[in-house]
Amino acid sequence: MRTKKAVETTKMTLSTGTARLDPPRRLLTPYMEMNYEEMFAEEEEQDDGHMASKSELNETNTANPQTIPPYSAFFIFDPTNKFRIFCHNIVSSPIFNNLVLGCILISSALLCAEDPLNTYSLTNRILNYFDYFFTSVFTIEITLKMIAYGFILHEGAFLRGMFNLLDLIVVFVALISFVLENEAISAVKILRVLRVLRPLRAINRAKGLKNVVQCVVTALKSIGNIMLVTILIEFVFAVIGVQLFKGKYVSCNDPSKLTEQDCKGFFIEYEHGRPANVVERVWTHSELNFDNVANAMLTLFVVLTFEGWPPILYAGIDSNEEDMGPLHDHRKYIALYFISYLIVASFFMVNIFVGFVIVTFQREGEREYKNCELNKNQRKCIEYALKARPRRRYIPKGHLQYKIWSMVVSRKLEILIFTFIFLNTVTLACKHDKMDPTFSSVLDNFNYFFTAVFTVEFILKLSAFSFRHYFGDPWNVIDFIIVLGSYIDIIVSKASSETTLKFNINFFRLFRVMRLVKLLSKEESIRKLLWTFIKSFQALPYVALLIAMLFFIYAVIGMQLFGKISLYQPGLEPGEDGVIHRSNNFRSFFFALLVLFRSATGESWQEIMLACTPGRKCAVDSEDGSEGMNCGSNLAYPYFITFYLFCSFVIINLFLAVIMDNFDYLTRDWSILGPHHLDEFVTRWAEYDPEAKGRVRHLDVVTMLGKISPPLGFGSMCPHTRACHKLVQMNMPLQSDGTVFFNATLFALVRRNLRIKVPEDDEKEKSLDQLNEELRGVIKKIWKRTSPKLLDQILPPKELDVVTVGKFYATFLIQNWFREWQKRKMIQKDTRYIPQILAGDRAMPHQPTIVGFPRRCSSDLTGDDIQRRKGEKLDVIPGGGILGRTLTDWTRKRGKKHVSSGHRDITEDPEVKKRQAQAGGGANGATQQPGDGQLPVIQVHAPHPSVIAVASLDDSKKVKRSIQPSGGEEKSGGGLMGLIRRGSSYLRRKDAEEQQQRQEEERKEDLEMARTMFAAARRESYYAHRAD
């Protein structure tokens, strides 16, 4: 029977005594008392066991297995047919899917090994046999899936899926190419090119890659209007260009001839520094021209890419009449046509297009969060809180070692090392070619000095952390490698000559540059950027895989289409390379990738495209070498244009979208908690839990959160009462020994800051237990591998009835408020307040002071608590405010002594009488004679003549003083100055009253919150008692 459970644990002792901060002792469930490391060890074992399951892994990385549709397949196999069930079991097997995926990867890799020059080479014949085998495997797969799911007529059939249709096309093309292999060579070439679509079949088997492809497709669909407007603008400018430049992009290699009839014969060409040559006149048409709308749109697209557009502009300015050669600066106004097109199409439409791609991709990526109760930032923060582990912090026990450790981890030494790294960077930047020997010697001496400094740092750290803990930090390992490499560099440079070991010397000198890596570990902001950079890389694999697949497909297509183009084109002088040369060609997969990468960056991509058009000379060693100038293809135009569109405008910008998504904290409101804030909690926790046990005292949590800046922590300026109020909202489980768990505390911080399933004012119908159960369900749904022990630790089930920090601090707030209220009532019973202004200072209610002492306005002086500062000899009775006046009625009836709150009548104290006798006479020493019911007062020397001190003694014979005016407002002076002082006094008194009213309202709010939490705890305890 759980009798007197939560009622006893949350019971308040409403007394004026000291608050008890010890948490209530109670029995906890076994999981709450277990070893923290054992719990995470079991969780990791559970994760390892989960990941070891092949079926679950396949289920995670592939599409969910499809059931047999309730329709017949091919009008023969009904859903209960044994053969159909057998086929379904095969295609649903992870082993079969992995086998097909392996065949796809191997067959795709074999496409790279084909010889583009000779179709019937030995290598290609061997690869054909492999192609037969893989095509047979894919055919069997397609057949089994059609039998299992049906063909196309009903819902859930095989061809109802887009990726299944792609699989069928790839297999069908391979079969057709085998049938027509010996009948129609040209058709076979086209079909063999389509084999490169085979890698696309892997998309349907990788869930992450499939999601990226779907996002890209959806993004392209959503920006259809932008694409249509861009194409329309380009078409309009193309029509205008045809009217302006039709037949005008022609020229003769002899500039003196302006017509094709005159451009005949030979002429002597003079070049600077070279002998004269006799050259035949040739009339040429520019390959990028405006002779028709199609050519005009191609030319404008080249201009749109900002690559090679100045020659097109100058040719337009020099253009003459139709079918006539150019004249220098014949039509300068034509530049307006190209400038306006660049402004409208390139500066506006292209950037809008790219922006829509990025925004749409991010929106599609966040679509999965729409149906979830947590947004993207909340999921990232909760995932961090669930997976975070406490960090060990080594603190030496020896006295000398501790001194060295304190110096090593100090901020001063960190700044000093940072300065030396910066100076080392400056000396490295001073190196240049043909240096003076003296200057080179000075730089070498600096290198020796910096090496010695970093060596001393290494020795100090090794002494402070010991061998095991020093090399346990990856940054320290990097520092050690840098120091070791620096010494190797010095030894090799001294012992060897530069002629014999030049490469080795230059290699080891890289360690000097590696010292810059130390900067990454010295600054918090740099480490945060590095952390975000690494997180971006973790989100890029599938985007990078999609780009690699795109490059692979285009590289194989380029080998099939342009691999036979000769590396030496006619019209070139000896030693002169054309666009297609030995380092820029499609003869192998490696060089094809280099050409595509160059084209993706926009470097003369239009020249490569024009060099692959028909009419190019074929390679001599190719099977078409004897046919002369028939290599190249008109497919070069769509090939390069589509590749440039996909790479430059779509795929490459996906990197930008992912990076922007991970670096969004740099542009959003810093008051919003994000994953980049949470690492500071782990670092601070290690200060209070150096052994990484995962548990600290709840009072240390308050101190720790005060050292962490918002939004994660409370900050150093947060009052203690407000911190307790926030701890009530956090409400993490409290252990019997007064400690809290690491993950529970971090999870509570995340939950409170991001308002995840917390009671709101408009959701009074939902209790905290209901919200906890809903959040438990969300976590189980999203993070299926979360350990039940960890889940019960951060969100204890309702039936466990665990004591929480919220209940404890709610009790503490109620006790604190009640004691303050009781003290105010007792003081108001014996003291009446007359708030006034002295010496131009503003009175603040409930804040005692005396003239000559500083104000005490910290959070330690709460309410009317009388606290004594260290070093002060005088305590103070709280009065009406700072420099305010207090008149104390010690007797409520005339001539009757009244003792209250530990005070006695001051008139009976011998010390007061003695001071009254000493103070008699003088300007500031005249003693006032007390009247009926008045307190005897003694004037003392004070900074202002209107200030006097009231002295009293308590039971412990200690003197207490408060400030009292020596006269009324009538002594403030007459005339204008007196009026001003009286007005100022009235305004300041009003301010003091308003401030007092605000403080009372804040106390009432805190009390209301504490009452609510306490009532909830009482209610839970009552129902638990009734249940027992």
pLDDT at res. 911: 52
Omega of the bond leading into 711 within 30 degrees of 0 (cis): yes
pLDDT at res. 668: 65
The per-residue pLDDT for range 92-130, each reduced to its tens digit, is 888 988 898 888 889 888 888 888 887 778 888 888 888
pLDDT at res. 861: 41
- Cβ-in-10-Å burial (0-12, 13-18, 19+) of 253 comes to middle
CB atoms near residue 884 (< 10 Å): 28
Task: Give the DSSP letter of residue 581.
Answer: B
Kindly give the parts of the chain with pLDDT less than 50. 1-38, 40, 42-63, 184, 626, 832-907, 912, 919-973
Report the CATH number of the 63-205 domain.
1.20.120.350
63-205 and 399-522 share one CATH topology? yes
pLDDT at res. 365: 66
pLDDT at res. 1019: 65
Could you give the CA distance from residue 720 to residue 275 in angstroms, rounded to a whole number? 92
Query: Which residue is associated with the tokens 């007005």?
Result: 983
pLDDT at res. 555: 92
Could you give the CA distance from residue 609 to residue 638 in angstroms, rounded to a whole number? 10
What superfamily in CATH does domain 6-38+670-808 come from? EF-hand (1.10.238.10)
Q: What fold is seen in the domain 399-522?
A: Four Helix Bundle (Hemerythrin (Met), subunit A) (1.20.120)
pLDDT at res. 871: 42
Could you give the CA distance from residue 223 to residue 227 in angstroms, rounded to a whole number? 6
The per-residue pLDDT for range 607-618, each reduced to its tens digit, is 999 999 988 888
Per-domain boundaries in the chain? 6-38+670-808, 63-205, 224-249+286-365, 399-522, 566-665, 813-1010
CB atoms near residue 269 (< 10 Å): 12
Q: Which of 954, 960, 832, 957 is nearest to 901 (CA)?
A: 954
pLDDT at res. 1024: 57
pLDDT at res. 506: 61
The torsion defined by the Cα of 974, 976, 977 and 983, in degrees rounded to 10, comes to 100
At 600, list the tokens.
Answer: 């993706």
CB-CB contact of 164 with 152 (8 Å) = no
Element (H, E) at 754: helix 742-754
Q: Considering just the CA atoms, what is the radius of gyration of the chain in Å?
A: 43
List C-alpha distances in Å: 515 to 433, 451, 483, 485, 553.
22, 10, 9, 10, 42
Q: What fold is seen in the domain 224-249+286-365?
A: Helix Hairpins (1.10.287)
CB-CB contact of 901 with 917 (8 Å) = no
Element (H, E) at 935: none
Q: Which residues contact 3 (CB under 8 A, 6 or more apart)?
A: 1025, 1028
CB-CB contact of 833 with 962 (8 Å) = no
Q: Which of 57, 382, 63, 104 is nearest to 208 (CA)?
A: 63
pLDDT at res. 314: 93
Pairing of strands 266-271, 274-280: antiparallel
Could you give the CA distance from residue 672 to residue 377 in angstroms, rounded to a whole number? 9
pLDDT at res. 170: 84
pLDDT at res. 301: 94
Query: Which residue is associated with the tokens 């240096």?
Result: 435
pLDDT at res. 972: 43
Could you give the CA distance from residue 202 to residue 193 in angstroms, rounded to a whole number? 18
User: What phi and psi, each to the nearest 5 degrees, are found at residue 882?
Assistant: -65, 130
